Amino acid sequence: MQKTLVIIKPSAIQRSLVGEVVSRFEKKGLQIIGFKMMTLSDEMIEIHYAHLKDKPFFKRIKDSMQVTPVFVLALKGLDAVEVVRNMSGSTNSRKAEPGTIRGDYSMSVQENIVHTSDSVESSIMELARFFKDEELFDYKPLLLTHLYSNDEY
């Protein structure tokens, strides 16, 4: 089973969409193994978005991510990284398909409701960045046999 990170951004918090976003992941069958609210420091943003630090829009990203605290969510499931990315839709929300989180709730590239890990490698690094080991929980959901066939888990 893969683990992946979701950051529920200030745009979702300001619009009272946190429950809706979390609910979509739960209804899909992804297991919540970590969940907390936190304020992102300048340092954390510079580390997390290091690949964008030299871009002219980096200040806009930083300003946007510090409007409110964010919720960070650790999810687990088969192919979790790909599943979460598909559920979230295109980063440019105007191009996101209806039925995706961004396609249903956003019109922006920046204010696009969620950040999601873009690969298994990224998810490992990002989860370690936002969660201590003791903040991630491993438990067997009672509904596991109704989510996957017995040879999938």
What are the catalytic residues? 115
Of 74, 60, 76, 77, the residue nearest 112 (C-alpha): 60
Of 130, 123, 98, the residue nearest 34 (C-alpha): 130
Q: What are phi and psi of 43, to 5 degrees?
A: -60, -45
What is the sign of the dihedral through the CA atoms of 149, 29, 33 and 125? positive
